[in-house]
Structure 1
Amino acid sequence: MKYIIIPVTNFMQNCTIIWDENSLDAVIVDPGGEIEKIIIEIKNRSLKLKYILITHGHLDHVGACADMAMYFSIPIYGPQKEDSFLIKGLTLQHKVFGLKKCSEFIPNRWLKNGDEISFSNIKLSVLHCPGHTPGHVIFVNHKDKLISMGDILFRGSIGRSDFPKGNYEILMHSIKTKILTLGDDYKFIPGHGPTSNLGIERKFNPFLQ
Structure 2
Amino acid sequence: MSRYRPGLTRPALLAMILALAGPAMAAERLGLGQSLTPAQLVTWDIDVDAAGHGLPPGSGSVAQGQRVYAQTCAACHGDRGQGNPADALVGGRGSLATAKPLKTIGSFWPYATTVFDFINRAMPYNAPKSLTADEVYAVTAYLLHLNGIVAADAVLDAVSLPKVRMPNRDGFIGDTRPDTSNVACRHCPAPPPSQ
TM-score, normalised to structure 1's length? 0.24
Return the structure number with greater relative CO, CA threshold 8 A, min gap 6: 2
Q: Report the structure number with the largest CA radius of gyration.
A: 2
Structure number with higher helix proportion: 2
TM-score, normalised to structure 2's length? 0.25
Structure number with higher strand proportion: 1
